């Protein structure tokens, strides 16, 4: 079990499903001692409704999340070099993070998290796909930093 980093950035393709889930669950599980943000390679989608729904099931509120890209993050004054750890949840975001961090001594980790978008025909089947993604993220968080310190 590792100590929590002071700051962590989760990234995925659009900052609409996987990285906001990871950001929200991380904050819920481990409190506010760690500065947690999320970004996408692109910002061309709003937060996904199924993502909001499956996170609500575990008490994580994502409806106010605003998607943003790596470029916007820098415009808003969050410097990539100020994060202790970058966790990429998709191959494209891992490439982008490595590209952007090659000048910093920054740890970039890759967690292969399933992209649930486009999976499942019915609403229930879609929700199941999103739950699988959510549960994969939870498994990675717990194996890295232990059981949640905050009460769910």
Say how many C-beta atoms besides its own lie within 10 A of residue 104's C-beta.
Answer: 14
Q: Inter-axis angle of helices 49-56 and 123-145, to 10 degrees?
A: 60
pLDDT one-digit tens code per residue, 106-134:
889 999 999 999 899 999 999 999 999 99
| Per-residue confidence (pLDDT) for residue 95, from 0 to 100 | 94
Question: Which pLDDT band holds residue 1 (cuts at 50, 70, 90)?
Answer: low
Cα–Cα separations (whole angstroms), residue 78 to 39, 40, 93, 121: 11, 14, 17, 39
pTM, rounded to two decimals = 0.92
pLDDT on residue 124: 96
Give 51-87 pLDDT, tens digit per residue.
999 999 999 999 988 899 988 887 877 778 889 999 9
How many C-beta neighbours within 10 Å does residue 144 have? 15
Query: For residue 9, is pLDDT > 80?
Result: yes
What is 7-145's CATH number? 3.40.50.2300
Q: In angstroms, how far is CA 25 from the centroid of its own chain?
A: 8
């Amino acid at each position: 079990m590792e100590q929590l980093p002071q700051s962590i950035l989760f990234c995925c393709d659009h900052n609409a499903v996987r990285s906001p889930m990871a950001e929200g669950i991380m904050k819920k599980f481990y409190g506010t001692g760690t500065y947690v943000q999320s970004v996408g390679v692109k910002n061309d989608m709003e937060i996904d409704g199924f993502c909001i729904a499956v996170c609500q099931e575990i008490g994580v509120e994502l409806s106010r999340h605003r998607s943003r890209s790596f470029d916007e993050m820098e415009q808003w004054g969050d410097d990539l070099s100020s994060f202790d750890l970058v966790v990429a949840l998709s191959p494209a975001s891992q490439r982008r993070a490595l590209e952007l961090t090659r000048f910093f001594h920054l740890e970039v980790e890759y967690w292969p998290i399933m992209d649930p978008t486009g999976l499942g025909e019915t609403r229930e089947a879609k929700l199941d796909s999103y739950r699988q993604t959510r549960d994969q993220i939870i498994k990675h968080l717990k194996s890295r930093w232990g059981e949640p310190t905050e009460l769910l």
